[in-house]
Amino acid sequence: MNALKPYGDTLNDGRMQLSFTLPVPCSPRAREAALQYLRKVGLTDPQVVYSEALDEGFTFFVVYATSDAVIDYDTVKGAEKIEYMSFDEINEFIKEKIGRKIVVVGACTGFDAHTVGIDAIMNMKGYNHHFGLERYPMVEAYNLGAQVPNEALLDFAREVSADAVLVSQVVTQKDVHIDNLTELVELFEAENLRDRTILIAGGPRISDRLAMELGYDTGFGPGTYAEHVATFIVRKMAERGIS
Amino acid sequence: MNTRLGLNEDRIQRARSLAEEIAHPVRSYIERHTTVSVERATLRLFGLDGCDEEGTPTANLALHQLRDKVPHGAARYLLGALVKTGMTVEELDRAVAEGFDLAAQGLPDQGALEAKAAELVARVRHTLDTNREYRLQKIDQHREREHSPLLYVIVATGNIYEDVKQARAVVYQGADIVAVIRTTAQSLLDYVPHGATTEGFGGTYATRENFRIMRKALDEAGEKVGRYIRLVNYASGLCMPEIAALGALERLDMMLNDSMYGILFRDINMYRTLVDQHFSRMVSAYADIVINTGEDNYLTTSDAYEKGYTVLASELINERLAFDAGMPSRLQGLGHAFEMDPAIENGFLYELAQAALIREVFPSCPLKYMPPTKHMTGNIFAGYALNTLFNLVARMTGQEIILLGMLTEAIHTPFMQDRFLAIQNALYVFKNAASLGEDISFRENGIIRRRAAEVLDKTVEFLEIVAGKGIFESINQGLFADIKRSPSGGKGFDGVYEKAPDYWNPWENMLKEALFKGGKK
């Protein structure tokens, strides 16, 4: 397919749904401004289907519009779809290929207090019927919880000889998570631990690509379960010949 | 009582007496101890609330000077310096900021200290009393325009002036309560920052000046729409008592304040938290500030269906500790949440059972109901549907306060339009299903009644175990939220002091007198 565009109800109709707020009073003029703005963005045939005052100085719009832009799908490269192993397969894999329990340390670092992400991966119970790493017989899992300083995470990882370190960043503002994630990699490098530790970042605003740019082995975003993370770790360990 | 769920009254009584048993050793520990934050709160209530050139609060400078004298109470050194120098509190505050040493002044006789304390306490008490009366009068005046449940929304831009814009908009849209969420690091700061702030992460610093700015904005916005808008902040973390004190002074109306949250979810030392929460609650009780407890957090860590009883158990402990601090039920906004996995068959019925159960166990508390967060996936449309059911349960079961769910939960801090959509959703449900709760009854031996009875039974079982082990050991073993916290571990333990026999705190004395001996007007 070399001319890809959004699908509304007919192929290549290019219809899109948007909603946004403009910081002006709700009025016919505000609606006109919304339409002009959408045209400037490059959308055609915009329709404001709903607008409402959010207070005296702000207006909310729900809009449909058409995009004429197309992209050549044949040239688009995405991350490869990975076949993940199951809970049993992972434990079996560790027994056979690594021959000992693997050690995984997880934490929510910096000032982030939101453990929902790291808990979903680490806790016994797991998330959405996917067991967490604490449940894996062949994984020794340590969840250090929230607001863990990078230095403390490094010290703990060294103490337990961690094979992999999982860093979760959930609620961040003004990109503080980027600095925080970068600092951890630098610490591991300074202490000569980077090469023997698999570093993984996770969180709603983390992508594989971003994590790798920051010097991590990989990154996991929304929709990740423990077996995804574990599959990555054990394959990487086997690939590096760690035992 | 209303027994729509056919609850066994004896089981509720048993649960309450277990909570009493659990709280008993906590109470005796609290009596014998103070903390740096309790002392700083005391100094701040006396008016020592400036800062030096580097932004270090004078309350912290004073505590640093007095660190060996904390067991005797910091107040007498402040009062002593006032008597000896003849300065006003404002003058002394500036002097401390410039290096004046409270510890080096020596003490006048106790009679002079007492007289000075009485004078200052009376002055500040007048402010607190005026605040309370103003609030009562405004709420009374506008009562018919309030929503039921009260609509609670959060603003969290990091910049107090931007927060004000967002707050004005939500008042216009119909919110009754505005919470300025704190910057994520603040609970672990052992001082309260000073002045107006424009930089924060995931929230805005709680400072006295920020309280003032938002209070003024909400009063103005409220006057326009003819409602009293309640302002909320967080009396939690290492500065719990100080935030409570500043909130009382600046007429905040609600404070998030939990007896165990800091221990479990912020790794703050258990003794520190328990002593701090007690003083905070006395201050809030005196100022007529409604506390909101944090039981919703249990369900973000553990499964809401399996661990529903931990919520009720924690609420009973929070209730007991609040009573111990002289706080009446009408100020106890006990918390709970709508967090069950939406894939569970009849999950809505279980949520209804849980919310109705809590309503019946605490008939006079202004319950605080929290929206789904754990199962918000980024599919904003599905999230909006989830929030609709949450609003329905809230209305049907007569919750007093609901924190509105945002369709963009788990994506970003809310856009202005997200709050608008949340308020629209709630108003639609409240109107459309206004009388549903009163119009239906729950079938005997039906799913809802059985579930409520089961949660109550499990709560009693759990409290039996906690009472058997004691609360400190129970937390140590990870009985709450599967999180283990050791008695001497966590942050802030070095700020806990055993009181000396001559410990003296005029504010504590006044609060006890007012709250326990009917001295409150």
Dihedral of CA atoms A150, B234, B198, B92 in degrees, nearest 10, equals -100
pLDDT score of A26 more than 70: yes
Q: Choosing among B184, B198, B225, B427, which should be mutated to test the A contact, i.e. which has the most A CBs within 10 A?
A: B184
Task: Indicate whether A99 and A216 sit together in one domain.
Answer: yes
Domain-embedded: residue A227: yes
Tell me if A180 is assigned to some domain.
yes
Longest CA–CA separation in chain A, Å: 71
**A49 and A166 co-located in one domain:** no
Looking at residue A169, its pLDDT comes to 87
User: pLDDT at residue A243 above 70?
Assistant: no
Final residue of a structural domain among A72, A104, A131: A72
Contact yes or no for A125 and B341 at CB 8 A: no
| Integer Cα distance of A70 and A239 in angstroms | 40
Residue-wise pLDDT tens digits, B481-511: 878 889 998 899 999 999 999 999 999 999 9
Q: Is residue A235 part of a domain?
A: yes
Same domain, A120 and A189: yes
A147 assigned to some structural domain:
yes
* Average pLDDT taken over every residue of chain B: 95
Q: Do A138 and A93 reside in the same domain of the chain? A: yes
Specify whether A104 is located in the same domain as A57.
no
Catalytic residue status for B368: yes
User: Where does the pLDDT of residue B183 fall: very low under 50, low under 70, confident under 90, or very high at 90 and above?
Assistant: confident
What per-residue confidence (pLDDT) applies to B1?
A: 41
What is the model's pLDDT at position A172? 62
Question: Using the beta-carbon criterion (under 8 Å), do A222 and B410 form an inter-chain contact?
Answer: yes
Put simply, the answer to whether A116 touches B300 (Cβ < 8 Å) is yes
Q: Do A147 and A36 fall into the same domain?
A: no
Q: Is the pLDDT of residue A171 over 70?
A: no
**A161, A223: one domain:** yes
Q: Is residue A77 part of a domain?
A: no
Residue A113 Cα, gap to closest chain B Cα (Å): 7
Q: For an interface test with B, which of A62, A173, A176, A207 has the most B Cβ atoms less than 10 Å from its Cβ?
A: A173
Q: Give yes or no for B308 touching A (CB within 8 A).
A: no
Residue where a domain terminates, one of A38, A72, A106? A72
* Total domain count, chain A: 2
- Which residue, of A47, A72, A97, is where some domain finishes? A72
Over 80: is that where the pLDDT of A127 sits? no
pLDDT at B429 over 90: yes
Residue A56 has which token pair?
């005296």
Residues of A marked active site are found at: 125
Beta carbons of A172 and B420 less than 8 Å apart = no
How many other CB atoms sit within 10 Å of the CB of residue A10? 8
Nearest to A58 among B301, B413, B416 (CB): B416
For residue range A30-87, what is the model confidence (pLDDT) as tens digits?
999 999 999 999 999 999 999 999 999 999 999 999 999 999 999 998 777 778 999 9
Residue A237 has pLDDT above 80, yes or no: yes
Contact list, A115 vs chain B (CB under 8 Å): 265, 301
Q: Which residues from A are below 8 Å from B482, CB to CB?
A: 123-124
pLDDT of residue B519: 56
User: DSSP secondary-structure letter at A202?
Assistant: E
Taking CB atoms and an 8 Å cutoff, what residues of chain B touch A122?
A: none
A115 shares a domain with A39 = no
Chain A closest-CA separation from residue B417 CA (Å): 6
**Confidence category of residue A9, pLDDT binned at 50, 70, 90:** very high
DSSP state letters, B41-85: HHHHHTT---B-TT--BHHHHHHHHTTTTGGG-SHHHHHHHHHHH
Shortest distance, CA B173 to any CA of chain A (angstroms): 7
Has residue A162 got a pLDDT over 90? yes
Which residues are bridge partners to A163 per DSSP?
none
CB proximity under 8 Å: B 93-152 to A: none
Res A173 pLDDT > 70: no
What's the whole-number mean pLDDT along residues A164-189?
Answer: 85
- Distance between CA atoms of B37 and B238, rounded to whole angstroms? 7
Rounded to whole angstroms, how far apart are CA atoms A127 and A120? 5
B169 interaction partners in chain A (CB closer than 8 Å): 54-55, 58
Q: Which of A111, A122, A178, A206 is the best substitution to test chain B (most B C-beta atoms within 10 A)?
A: A111
- B187: pLDDT strictly greater than 90: no
pLDDT exceeds cutoff 80 at B256? yes
A148, A171, A225: which to substitute to probe chain B, counting the most B Cβ within 10 Å?
A171
CB contact under 8 A, B169 and A19: no
Measured between CB atoms, does A207 come within 8 Å of chain B?
no
Whole-number CA gyration radius for chain B: 23
Our CA-based measurement puts residue B356 at a distance from the nearest CA of chain A, in whole angstroms, of: 26
| B363-403 pLDDT, tens digit each | 999 999 999 998 988 899 999 999 999 999 999 999 999 99
- Per the CB < 8 Å rule, is A116 touching B374? yes
Q: Which residue of A has its CA nearest to B184?
A: A111
Single pTM value for the model: 0.86
Interchain proximity B158–A119, CB inside 8 Å: no
Residue A78, in any domain of the structure: no
Flag whether pLDDT at B303 surpasses 50: yes
- Cβ-based burial of A201 (10 A; exposed 0-12, middle 13-18, buried ≥19): buried
Q: How far is the alpha carbon of A60 from chain B, nearest alpha carbon, in Å?
A: 6
Sign of CA dihedral A152, A158, A160, A162: positive
B187 touches chain A (CB under 8 A): yes
**Given A112, A128, A204, which is nearest B184 (Cβ)?**
A112
In this structure, the answer to whether residues A35 and A111 fall within a common structural domain is: no
Specify if A80 maps to a domain: no
Q: Does residue A210 form part of some domain? A: yes
Residue A65 contacts residue A48 (beta carbons within 8 Å): no
Domain CATH for A99: 3.40.50.280
Distance (Å, whole) CA B450 – CA A197: 50
Of A20, A125, A171, the CB nearest to B202: A171
Is B184 in contact with A171 (Cβ distance < 8 A)? yes
**Structural domain harbouring A192:** 87-240
Q: Looking at the structure, tell me whether residues A51 and A115 fall in a common domain.
A: no
Please report, for the domain that includes residue A28, its CATH number: 3.30.30.60
Closest chain B CA to residue A170: B410
Q: Quick one: tokens of A36? A: 């002009």
Nearest chain A Cα distance for residue B483, angstroms: 9
pLDDT at position B198 over 50: yes
Q: Does residue A162 share a domain with residue A96? A: yes
Q: Are residues A7 and A116 in the same domain?
A: no
% of chain B at pLDDT higher than 90: 88
pLDDT(B192) > 60: yes
